[in-house]
Structure 1
Amino acid sequence: MIESVRFSLSDSGEVKCSLTLKRFYPQDIKIRWSAVESQTKLMDYDKPAQSADGETFDVTSVFTLPRPLCFPVYVTWEHQSVKEPQSIILNPSDLPWHPQIEELNSPDLKLDTESKIQVRISGYFPEDLTVEWYKKEMGTDRFVAADNNKYRTVISGHQRQSDNTYSCTASLLFTPTLPEDQRSEFICRVQHPSLEQPIERRIGPLQIT
């Protein structure tokens, strides 16, 4: 009966969910959406249309997510062909706009001169993006957060793209010293509501010249 739940993103930044149900009979059906489990809302939808077989019906219901985005989202439908109401729960990880992360650049590290490691991130929505940097400790395989006074994280403003997703450039700024930064290795970790697990990119070992 169910075809799919799809997401779309408008120029104004509205996120819409659409549920398509196919091949049901008779045509009477109820569809409810909610961004809070205890508050359901009966949504308007087009009158069910006849399916290609000419005997059953199809319908699509569209729900605009409240802003700021609020999850989970519940969609429930009732029809006499099923004994109990059927439902789907949508979570942030169901959003299709996952961040796309390029490889970290490979800078020339110069002793006592400020250097920059950069990564471009694109294709994500909403703009709730977290970027963390980690550095491998000398003489170990352990990575620790690069968040002391020596290392500085900079994220450029979130730029709106033609497809209404966002892009940005994340940078780690630091001044290399010896021996701490010779053959240093770094990890950039990106977190976003659409991701079930963070995405990582790694660079190194880097040489100081």
Structure 2
Amino acid sequence: MTVCAPHVGDIIVPRQLQCNQSYTLQCEISEFHPDNLTVTWSKIQKGKEETIDSESKEKYYIPDLTYKKQRDHTYNCMASLVFIPSYESDHEAEFSCRVEHPSLEEPIERRTEPLEMVQTPRKPGNTGKKDKTMRPWAPRVGDIIVPRQLHSNKSYTLQCQISQFYPNSLSVTWLKKQKGEKETIRLQSSERYQIPDILQEQQEDHTYSCTARLVFTPSYESDHGAEFICRVKHSVLKEPIERRTDPLRVKNPRSWW
């Protein structure tokens, strides 16, 4: 098969960023061959660019790329950067995703707009020292972030931000409701669905935050019109909190021609 240059989408940024909570920037890369791709994340602030080291576990985490082979024998993947922003270091900063591939004479680069940070005030009485008698806090669960356009047989990630909970006794279940069906089915990690382990990060106020993710490969026949549900259980909650997508719109591969 001939060499195919990658298509690189815009960087997906969460709608609202609060200080000291965990978030994920994502950039979809598709239709490339062969599968030897290099992705570099950088941060630009006040005109200075700094390459993000994947070993900086304290603030940045760069998951390994997972290549998905498509029916036309090209590959796609999702480049991700998990980070915990602070107002002092990330307000109005820009992040870039640089993609290198044997088919390219020059790398392809995508850059975010300057980030707008929202400062999270400390809870009353919090002195910055760990309180052994800290009372439990119920999680805040954001909406499920869905990629803007879904194509059949390409890999995508749904993600749901969960924050400000204590203790860290949290569990997440992903479910799916088929178009026209009343019942939901619980999703398990499989060839089509991958549920990455949840990385819980403790914040300065000693609460926890994390991002729940579902990596899946939609098909028009089984996923067009389907809804996905993120169900969050926590020791403080009497009933789980659920967030649901709108019915998905998966592009029919027949319409590509």
Please, what TM-score do these two structures have when normalized by structure 2? 0.45
Paired AA for residue 197 in structure 1: E
Displacement of 1:106 in angstroms is 2.4
- 2:166 is the counterpart of 1:117: no
- Aligned: 1:102 with 2:102: no
Aligned position for 2:218: 176
CA shift for structure 1 position 166: 0.6
**SS of the residue aligned with 1:133?**
strand
Residue 174 (structure 2) aligns with: 133
What is the Cα deviation at residue 15 of structure 1? 3.0
Give secondary structure in 2 for the equivalent of 1:186. strand
Cα separation, 1, equivalents of 2:241 and 2:143: 11
Once the two structures are superposed, residues 92-136 of structure 1 have per-residue CA deviations (whole angstroms, 9 ceiling, x without a partner) of: xxx441100011112222211111110100001111110001100
1:204 alignment partner, SS class = coil
Structure 2 equivalent of residue 66 of structure 1:
none
Residues 24-55 of structure 1: per-residue CA shift (max 9 Å, x gap): xxxxxxxxxxxxxxxxxxxxxxxxxxxxxxxx
2:237 aligns to what? 195
Q: Does residue 1:15 correspond to 2:132, yes or no?
A: yes
CA distance in 1, matches of 2:189, 2:173: 12
Q: CA deviation at 1:185?
A: 0.3
In percent, how many aligned pairs have the same letter? 35
Distance in 2 between the 1:118 and 1:168 partners? 10
Q: Distance in 2 between matches of 1:110 and 1:12?
A: 49
Trace 1:42-191 onto structure 2 (pairs within 5 A): 95-107=135-147, 108-147=149-188, 149=190, 150-191=192-233
Amino acid at match of 1:154: P
TM-score, structure 1 normalization: 0.54
Contact 1:10–1:164 (Cα < 8 Å) also in 2: no
CA shift in 2, pair 1:191/1:201, >3 Å: same
- Equivalenced residue count is 126
5+ residue gaps in structure 1? 1-7, 18-94
Whether the aligned pair in 2 keeps the contact of 1:155 and 1:168 (CA below 8 Å) is no
Return the structure number with greater strand share. Answer: 1
**Deviation at 1:152?**
1.7
CA apart distance, 1:13: 5.1
Match of 2:7 in 1: none
| Local SS of the residue matching 1:164 | coil
Amino acid at match of 1:136: K
* CA RMSD in angstroms, aligned pairs only: 2.3
Structure 2 residue matching 1:179: 3-state secondary structure:
helix
Query: Which residue is equivalent to 2:247?
Result: 205
Structure 2 regions of 5+ residues with no counterpart?
1-124, 252-257
Moved over 2 A (4+): 8-15
